[in-house]
Amino acid sequence: EAQVTQNPRYLITVTGKKLTVTCSQNMNHEYMSWYRQDPGLGLRQIYYSMNVEVTDKGDVPEGYKVSRKEKRNFPLILESPSPNQTSLYFCASSPYRINNYGYTFGSGTRLTVV
């Protein structure tokens, strides 16, 4: 089944404790992206990657890091999480031309930073 897999689904952590949210896709998509979803703000892009070893900032990149060492994986790293990073996070992937296919999203990771 074609899918984007995120782990973990739920995570509660403390301020300052480094964490990684993993994302993997099995569709051989070139593009991958991380979004955060907050009430009243919709989905906002954090980082994106056009291909292996090519990443760039989205609209809200502060406090986050990403890497793309393999085509299928695109982990999101929070080096020192803070409470304002409490959110619902989605990984998404798409073929080269999003205009034809749109994004495929993972099921989400609900992160709480206390």
Partner 1 sequence: QQQVKQSPQSLIVQKGGISIINCAYENTAFDYFPWYQQFPGKGPALLIAIRPDVSEKKEGRFTISFNKSAKQFSLHIMDSQPGDSATYFCAATYGGATNKLIFGTGTLLAVQP
What are the residues binding partner 1 (CB under 8 A)?
Answer: 4, 31, 33, 35, 40-45, 48, 50, 56, 58, 90, 92, 94, 96-99, 102-108
Least distance to partner 1 from the beta carbon of 80, Å? 27
Nearest-angstrom CA–CA distance, 64 and 74: 13
**Residues whose CB is less than 8 angstroms from the CB of residue 33 and which lie 6 or more positions away in sequence, other chains included:** 45, 46, 47, 48, 49, 58, 74, 91, 92, 93, 94, 103
Q: Which is nearer to partner 1, 15 or 68 (CB)?
A: 68
User: Is the Cβ–Cβ distance between 113 and 52 less than 8 Å?
Assistant: no
Least distance to partner 1 from the beta carbon of 79, Å? 24
Least distance to partner 1 from the beta carbon of 15, Å? 26
